[in-house]
Amino acid sequence: MILKDILYKVAIEAVKGSTDIEVNKIEFDSRKIVSDDVFVAIKGTVSDGHDFIEKAINLGATVIICETLPNLIVEGITYVQVKDTSAAMAFMAANFYGNPSANLKLVGVTGTNGKTTIASLLYQLFKNAGFKVGLLSTVKILVDDKEYKATHTTPDSLTINHFLNEMAEEGCEYCFMEVSSHGIHQKRTEGLHFVGGIFTNLSHDHLDYHETFAEYRDVKKSFFDNLPKTAFALSNIDDKNGAVMLQNTKAKKLTYALKSYADYRAQILENQLSGLLLKINDQEVWVRLIGSFNAYNLLAIYGTAIQLGLENLEVLRLLSQLESVSGRFQFIVSESNITAIVDYAHTPDALENVLKTIEDIRTKNEQLITVVGCGGDRDTTKRPIMAGIASELSDKAIFTSDNPRSEDPEAIISEMEKGVEPQNYKKTISIVDRKQAIKTACQLAQSGDIILIAGKGHETYQEIQGVRHDFDDMKIVKELLDQLNK
């Protein structure tokens, strides 16, 4: 492909060399460079791509995209200076793959909690409706029926456009995509054509990356600010930031709620372990998902499906067929009648939602035992808050490791313990080894009791000191409960 065609819409500050040259592909990882590649020097949180320009040229790069021109200008190399290499790469990636998002109906889902559930269930609903569909989520990437492993909530812009292109070539009509605050801030979604955006909610998260809550909120808001007027913006108006997201958008403004007046409104008529009976815009529907947080998710899905042209009664029928997403309020009931629930809840708000959902459906004659940890190398301020919530809303709370990463797991647990109120001390146990913590919960549980294992959900690994070990909460709790039944 010709370089000047790839540079369409890129904000260029200076060019040294020719843009009328054929290039092979675009890379931002210097280790992957081969002959005639374009190297984009991205300033990351850990390293700066500008430090690897010389290495990229030695490996065969003929074009360098940078924010600062290097001191040494090599003869025969084209240098393109831009204001923001992340934004430039997003536009270049879209151009390189022929702007595939324009050939799909792409809907972005953003917010603290619910992104994976909404995107995954929209994929499921539209598949069940007979369409070819794509999914870009934390759990996995799907190109209709083909599955690929996901590594980030929002992949880099090259990966996004690569998969969108594959979706378009496979004949997919729709794509549902999780849009994280990191992805927005790092310009990974620049140059994409969205037909709609969904806002779920905003609560305490990612303050290790965003310095303040206001910055976190404003980054989310910028996604809606940039939607075109041909798109729709669907916001949870029960969340205090729901109206903020719609303030400056040019898109069609729509709302959903359980408590407020909204375009799409629901009432919970029944809430059981077997599902929810909802009244959505005056029509009743039974769904297999559980809890008020899922009522919000289902409303967002309902509103989106209507906006994308599906008929009202057909959407209600399809909602009733939806099955829960891996690691999102997944549960099993053992032979001895112990219910084990695995949920991804890794923020204070999500943990509280799950515990309150269990509170709504339990009889109060049973114990609720919660196993919870907090991730290492992430926002430390939420650790005591989560421990406080777990100990307050459970009969027994077991603090353990999540993904300690490079941190000392005992130090993480010590920070969690600081959030426990004195009256709840006797309800808590700290066990560093996560498997041992789950085993203890199983041993403490009696017939009728409920065990919640929070924090990791769909993840099938535990990261300790840079090494990923096989670890699947659902698989482990099932094995342990089966052993106790023997």
Flag whether 294 is marked binding: no
Host H or E run for residue 333: strand 330-333
Q: How far is CA 163 from CA 146, 149, 351, 469, 473, in A?
A: 11, 12, 32, 28, 30
- Does the annotation place 347 within a ligand binding site? no
Does 153 belong to an annotated binding site? yes
Furthest C-alpha separation in the chain: 78
Q: Is 188 annotated as a binding residue?
A: yes
**Residue 458 in tokens:** 């769909």
DSSP secondary structure of 247-258: TT--SEEEEEES
Determine the Cα–Cα distance for residues 327 and 472; give it in Å rounded to an integer: 10
Residue 154 marked as a ligand binder: yes
Asked whether 233 and 224 are in contact (CB, 8 A), the reply is yes
36 is in an annotated binding site: no
Query: CA angle 66-41-33, nearest 5°?
Result: 120
| DSSP 8-state code for residue 68 | S
| 403 annotated ligand binder | yes
Comparing CA positions, the residue from 48, 87, 82 lying closest to residue 65 is: 82
- Helix, strand and coil content of the chain, in percent to the nearest 5, comes to 35, 25, 40
Q: Is 419 annotated as contributing to ligand binding?
A: no
> Is 115 annotated as ligand-binding?
yes
Element (H, E) at 194: strand 194-199
Task: Tell me how far apart the alpha carbons of residues 430 and 142 are, in angstroms, rounded to a whole number.
Answer: 39
Tokens of 13: 């500050």
User: Was 291 annotated as part of a binding site?
Assistant: no
**288 marked among binding-site residues:** no
**Residue 111 marked as a ligand binder:** yes
Instruction: Confirm or deny that 186 is annotated as ligand binding.
Output: yes
Residues placed in the known binding site? 30, 111-117, 153-154, 180, 186, 188, 378, 402-405, 455, 459
- Binding site for meso-2,6-diaminopimelate, by residue number, is 378, 402-405, 455, 459
Binding residues for ATP: 111-117
